[in-house]
Amino acid sequence: MASYTTGKELRKSPKRLIAVGLVAVLALVSAFGVKSVMDGLTDIERETSSDTESELSIPTLSNSSTVEDKIIYTYDVRFHEDIQKGPLALVNRTHATKDLEEGLVSVFEHKNSHYHVKDQEVLLTEECIKALNAMLKAFYEATGREDLQVISGYRTKAYQQSLYDNAAQDDAEDAASRVAKAGHSEHETGQAVDFNIFRDGITLEFDGTEEYAWLAEHCTEYGFILRYPEHKVAVTEFSYEPWHFRYVGVPHAQYMQEENLVLDEYIPMLSAYTYSGTHLEINDKNGFLYEVFFVPKNEESNTTEIPIPAELEYTVSGNNIDGYIVTVATGKKQQASAQQIPADPKPESSAADESADLPTA
């Protein structure tokens, strides 16, 4: 027979009353505790979500005298395949690249009215075309000429190999100095452009003389470099090409021109400037300061965390060797740092291959 306790009996039994009271108290405490724990878990979840969105750090910069001068950094993550991408990717006989599969646009569809394009199949990266339009508009304003023609931009690996094979049929040794093998041409980056002159329906070779010398003199103001100059043949291992220009970005182009460097010299030099160490400081023609540093590839992972400024404009480019180059536009005007590594003295000029047809490196 089931037994139970009435209210009257409880009043007569203090021990039972105390026991029931304790059970009630424990139940309330338990319920409150569960709610507190759940609330705590919710708070932890919110904090964790917020913390993982970005990590901040303040690097120790030798040129910063106060906390206000220091740049606050967060992180970006890149896969190792990104090392081959960007305007500072070094492509030469030693360092090959893969076919670029994205980021290409038609020059014909995006050009301005101050130059010609060979056909609608000429492609470049969007950033390269923007810089190209600005440069050739300025060229027209300075010279009155609108007869420059873009005859080559991006090339596939297969097309580049066909160019090399055709050149090698006549003289393989000579072809090697004029035409890159597949995977080793700058045109495969979508950042290189070749010019000729299209005047009165006639196509003429671009030799970079007379008013066209303006391009070599002013191209760095728009982020381009003359990639294969005459006095650096021994370094680039390609014949002089006055028509071949490469987009690398304004601060880098100007620094290379000022220090007499080609890309083959400049990119390895940048590895001396690290995120946690001294940054390379570059002033553009208007005196605005850029900071540049190198981030090596993380060999223990398939991704690399790259420090980037939290509130400033910046670019990240792979160097196509072993890491990434970060360029920060500080927005400040400042004198160039005395800590920059001086360039080697300018070597004697090498003779150009004047008998060669238009090279296609």
DSSP 56-110: -B----TT--SGGGSPPEEEEEEEGGGGG-STT---SSSS--PPP-SSEEEHHHH
Quick one: pLDDT at residue 339? 44
Distance of alpha carbon 190 from alpha carbon 306, whole angstroms? 24
Local mean pLDDT, 10-residue blocks, the chain (361 residues)? 33 37 40 41 33 41 49 94 96 91 92 97 97 98 98 95 90 82 95 96 95 98 98 96 98 98 98 97 94 97 96 97 97 63 39 40 77
Q: How far apart are CA 106 and CA 118, in angstroms?
A: 11
Domains of the chain, with CATH numbers? 67-333 (3.30.1380.10)
Element holding 235 (H helix, E strand): helix 233-236
CA atoms of 172 and 260, how far apart (whole Å): 31
Q: C-alpha 260: how far from its chain's center?
A: 22
Coil, strand, or helix at residue 270? helix
Q: What is the DSSP letter of 274?
A: B
Distance of alpha carbon 290 from alpha carbon 234, whole angstroms? 30
- Residue 293: strand pairing partners: 326
Q: Which residues are catalytic?
A: 241
User: What does each C-alpha distance from 236 to 6, 176, 226, 231, 358 come to in angstroms?
Assistant: 102, 12, 12, 10, 17
- On whether the CB atoms of residues 72 and 59 are closer than 8 A, the answer is no
Q: Residue 311: count other Cβ atoms within 10 Å of its Cβ.
A: 9
The answer to whether the CB of 302 falls within 8 A of the CB of 250 is no
Q: Look up tokens 């000022």; give the residue.
A: 258
Q: Which two tokens stand for residue 74?
A: 């967060």
CA 333 to chain centre: 23
